[in-house]
Amino acid sequence: MYEAPIRPTIMNDVQRRQFVQKAKADRLAFDAAQLLSRGETSQAATLACECMTIAGQEQLALWLRHYATTRFKIASRTVDEFLGGVPPTNVAV
C-alpha cells in the first residue's frame, strides 16, 4: 500500500505564530460553544471575548455558530442571542 510522504510545512516565525494563534482562537470558540451548551453562559462569554481578541468578531461568530449548531445542537437563535450579548473586544468585561 502506497502512503504519500508527509512533509512538514515550512513556516517562518511569524507564520508559525499566526498559525498557533488561529488554532488557539479556534479552540476557545469550541470551548465557548461547549460551555454554552451546558448553560454556563458567563464562562462561555469570557472565552468568546478571548477568542474575539485573537481572531476578531466575524471569525468568532463563524466558528462559534458552527460548533454550537453542528457539534452541540444548539438552536441558531440561541447562538445569535448569545453572540449579541458578547461585548466588543475594546470594551472592558
**pLDDT tens profile 11-28:** 999 999 999 999 999 999
Nearest to 31 by CA among 44, 17, 13, 14: 44
Domain assignment present for residue 5? The answer is no
Domain assignment present for residue 69? The answer is yes
Tell me the pLDDT tens digit for each residue of 44-91.
999 999 999 999 999 999 999 999 999 999 999 999 999 999 887 654
Domain assignment present for residue 24? The answer is no
Interatomic CA distance for residues 34 and 44, integer angstroms: 8
The overall longest dimension of the chain from CA atoms, in Å, is 56
Domain assignment present for residue 59? The answer is yes
Domain assignment present for residue 15? The answer is no
Domain assignment present for residue 54? The answer is yes
- Domain carrying residue 72: 29-85
Domain assignment present for residue 46? The answer is yes
According to the model, what pLDDT value does residue 37 have?
Answer: 97
Q: For the chain, what is the domain count?
A: 1
According to the model, what pLDDT value does residue 79 have?
Answer: 96
Angstrom distances, CA of residue 58 to CA of 10, 39, 47, 71, 92: 28, 23, 15, 19, 19
Tell me the pLDDT tens digit for each residue of 27-50.
999 999 999 999 999 999 999 999
Domain assignment present for residue 56? The answer is yes
Contact predicate 79/64, CB 8 Å? yes
